[in-house]
Structure 1
Amino acid sequence: MRITDVSINRRLWIAVVLPLAAMGYLAFTQIASMWNDYRHMQQIVTISDNIAIVGDMVHALQVERGLSAGFINSRGANGRTDLDTARRAAEASLQRF
């Protein structure tokens, strides 16, 4: 069977349908890839929110640690109110975590 044996109507359909099918396949794979990227970005947003909460918690605990060291070093003479405030802030950050 030669190409000249196929009618013009069929040749035109083949010339139109094959590129459209290829374009449809490529569009589908591109959309699937973009959807996958979107889902991963949602996970990254959730993780970054959690990282910010953990960072705040670590900061509050480090402040409390520093004030505790100063309070112990002064044998309880200095920094009692600052230490109490820092402990409340640390407990609040732990609750958010």
Structure 2
Amino acid sequence: MSNARRREEHEARFEASRRVSAWLVALGAMVPVVLMVLLTGWCLSNIGVSAVVFVVVAQSRIRRPATWAEPGFVEQHAPKYGRPPETIEEYRAQQLQE
């Protein structure tokens, strides 16, 4: 094999390795962008779910205030120490006493 042929083969291998290196560098540069896009999507989906939950609870509180009054009463009158009433009937009886 002649020196010119060897040189051509060496240059071809070198050029192929340069192309692979350039591809890997470009791929490495894309990783932070891909991670940022995924993180942004995750955050936006969390915000969307939180907004839906907020709207559903707000609508429920507006449409059924009597139903929400019992948990509100429980929160206001729950004893700090001791055993709280165990059934909603006990809470209703306590509410009637007050």
Alignment TM-score, normalising by the size of structure 1: 0.63
Please say if 1:77 is aligned against 2:94. no
From 56, 78, 87, the counterpart of 2:46: 56
The equivalent position to 2:8 in structure 1, one of 18, 33, 41, is 18
Of the two structures, which has the highest relative contact order with CA contacts closer than 8 Å and spacing of 6 or more? 1
The answer to whether the 8 Å contact 1:67/1:79 transfers is no
RMSD: 2.2
- 5+ residue gaps, structure 1, are 1-10, 83-97
Structure 2 unaligned runs (5+)?
73-98
* Structure 1 CA distance for aligned equivalents of residues 68 and 21 of structure 2: 60
**Where do 4+ consecutive residues of structure 1 move more than 4 Å?**
none
**How much has 1:41 moved relative to structure 2?**
2.4
User: Match of 1:32, as an amino acid?
Assistant: A
Q: TM-score, normalised by structure 2?
A: 0.62
How many angstroms apart in 2 are the aligned matches of 1:73 and 1:60? 20
